[in-house]
Structure 1
Amino acid sequence: MVVEFLRGFARRRAPRVVPVPGGFAVLDARYAASYDDNKLLVWHGEDPAPVLAAADEVLADRGHRLVCVDDDRLGRAFAPAFAAAGYEHEENVLMVHRGGPPEVPYAEELSLETLLPVLRETWRETLPEVGDEAIEQLSRRSETRLRGADKVVFRGVRGADGEPAARADLYVHDGVAQIEDLVTGMRHRGRGHARALMLSLLAEATAAAGLVFLVADAADWPKEFYTRLGFEEIGRTHSFLRA
């Protein structure tokens, strides 16, 4: 159910969907610098060669190649061929919330107008070498997420200075909810903002859906943070990137 949600979300937000061996590609020329808006999603097949060829063909006019494999066995089987082709491999953990809803108020909803300056600052901190046009594309791509699910909201909590300190997305569709893109600004870290926001998102998500999940980097520390909040691993996906 979780991977079906992710595929459906990608399809609904993409202006162009192209069949490829083992799955499909999503494309959005308005945000050519956004890997997430221009990628292949694959989940069946046994031979990585047609997938590699499709990535070169479909993403020929992009500065990157991104292939997401949402079957753990297939991702591990494809890994050597993608490594030989110069791709970096990232393993992601699918985590489902098993606890009850926290009794906390919902966090503030952030409009796109409020969110955009925060996104620009975050991307500039993360990618200082990237030009202004790419930063603007990466920031404005949030507009496409509004088409990805029946309910899409951007939530945030503010710091002592009144500025958004932590923010995240919540998507709800057909009884499934995803919490995505949780980020705390560098100058606001270590003050509990992310935990406060996550508790709020869990309260809202569990009230709206029977299944709440998120995707975490298997090699990074936040998955332990999510575990302490009641999430547990149910599976893994793989991303292969050449930039």
Structure 2
Amino acid sequence: MRAFDLALRGRVATRAPTPHGCAFRFSEPAFWDLNFVYVERPAAATAELVADADAALAGLAHRMLIVDEPADVTRLAADLARAGWTIERHVAMVAGAVPADRTPRQAAREVPAPDIVLPRRAATREDGFDEATLAAIEVADLVVGRAMSERAFASTAPDGTIASMAKLYTDGAIGQIEDVQTRHAYRGRGHAQAVVLAALEASRRAGHDLTFLWADEDDWPRELYRRLGFAVLGRRWRFRRAVAVSR
């Protein structure tokens, strides 16, 4: 929740209680990562939690519920899966005292944040997102970047192409590595390792109390982060579905 709390300090969002949690809503963009209901009472009936999302996110083309473990979400996940919701499990991973793998295979450097906008768009397109989603992601990036301290890191291929990129957000005390992406043609060559280690080193040099990142529990980057010395501290479930919007 830290990035959203920081963004709220920048007065770009509203936060309002719901019967079973708290709703975060950004006026622009209408992007799912920035508009959701954080569920504080996951034992409530599934229909009641869905009603929370319907009320809080009315007018948007999606509904999203976020639940932190150790809450038991077995029943909720089963109910929402049957109803066609997308289910994602994420892990919060915290950097250890010393990276387990300290020798990057590629070089990485800090770059101005605008330098990675187009490479990030290209990498996101390669991941299968449509143009409307790409545009929403870019606006979301601007919103979050303006609300807190943001630094960018890149690893470049021999032909000069930015092959991989990452961001480091901070409130001055905690560093969050985010948006680690690698162009498909350059995967498996150590570029992601390089940008993560560069961001981690920058976080340490800035004196942050800890550095963390989020990873998909069921995807391969989690293993990369483990090799770099990140350990799982907690878990989070995200439930999302598209809805029709009345015109």
Match of 1:111 in 2: 113
- The Cα of 1:6 is off from its aligned counterpart by 4.6
Moved more, 201-210 or 44-53: 44-53
| Structure 2 residue matching 1:8: 3-state secondary structure | helix
Q: Counterpart amino acid of 2:25?
A: L
| 2:215–2:222 contact (8 Å) kept in structure 1 | yes
| 1:119–1:139 contact (8 Å) kept in structure 2 | no
- The Cα of 1:124 is off from its aligned counterpart by 2.1
Whole-Å separation in 2 of the counterparts to 1:215 and 1:75: 19
| Structure 2 residue matching 1:31: 3-state secondary structure | coil
| Structure 1 residue matching 2:71: 3-state secondary structure | helix
- The Cα of 1:74 is off from its aligned counterpart by 4.2
- The Cα of 1:77 is off from its aligned counterpart by 5.0
Whole-Å separation in 2 of the counterparts to 1:92 and 1:163: 30
Whole-Å separation in 2 of the counterparts to 1:58 and 1:74: 23
Match of 1:126 in 2: 127
**Segments of 4+ moved more than 3 angstroms:** 9-14, 74-77, 101-106
Q: Decide whether aligned partners of structure 1 residues 163 and 225 sit closer, same or farther in structure 2, where only a CA change above 3 A counts.
A: same
Whole-Å separation in 2 of the counterparts to 1:7 and 1:29: 14
| Structure 1 residue matching 2:58: 3-state secondary structure | coil
Match of 2:34 in 1: 37
| 1:64–1:242 contact (8 Å) kept in structure 2 | yes
Whole-Å separation in 2 of the counterparts to 1:143 and 1:225: 28
Whole-Å separation in 2 of the counterparts to 1:55 and 1:95: 28
TM-score, length-scaled by structure 1: 0.85
| Structure 2 residue matching 1:226: 3-state secondary structure | helix
Match of 1:11 in 2: 8
| 2:20–2:49 contact (8 Å) kept in structure 1 | yes
List aligned pairs for 1:180-191, cutoff 5 A: 180-191=178-189
Match of 2:90 in 1: 92
Moved more, 82-91 or 69-78: 69-78
| 1:44–1:71 contact (8 Å) kept in structure 2 | no
Asked whether 1:210 is paired with 2:209, we answer yes
Q: Decide whether aligned partners of structure 1 residues 205 and 76 sit closer, same or farther in structure 2, where only a CA change above 3 A counts.
A: farther
Where does structure 2 lack aligned partners over 5 or more consecutive residues? 243-247
Match of 1:229 in 2: 228
Whole-Å separation in 1 of the counterparts to 2:78 and 2:9: 32
| 2:20–2:52 contact (8 Å) kept in structure 1 | no
Match of 2:241 in 1: 242
Q: Decide whether aligned partners of structure 1 residues 163 and 50 sit closer, same or farther in structure 2, where only a CA change above 3 A counts.
A: same
Whole-Å separation in 2 of the counterparts to 1:67 and 1:95: 21
Q: Decide whether aligned partners of structure 1 residues 182 and 192 sit closer, same or farther in structure 2, where only a CA change above 3 A counts.
A: same
Q: Counterpart amino acid of 2:35?
A: N
Where does structure 1 lack aligned partners over 5 or more consecutive residues? none
- The Cα of 1:45 is off from its aligned counterpart by 5.1
Asked whether 1:135 is paired with 2:131, we answer no
| Structure 2 residue matching 1:187: 3-state secondary structure | helix
**Aligned Cα RMSD in Å?**
2.5
Match of 1:46 in 2: 43
- The Cα of 1:207 is off from its aligned counterpart by 2.3
Q: Decide whether aligned partners of structure 1 residues 165 and 138 sit closer, same or farther in structure 2, where only a CA change above 3 A counts.
A: same
Whole-Å separation in 2 of the counterparts to 1:180 and 1:193: 15
| Structure 1 residue matching 2:194: 3-state secondary structure | helix
- The Cα of 1:68 is off from its aligned counterpart by 1.2
Count the aligned residue pairs. 235
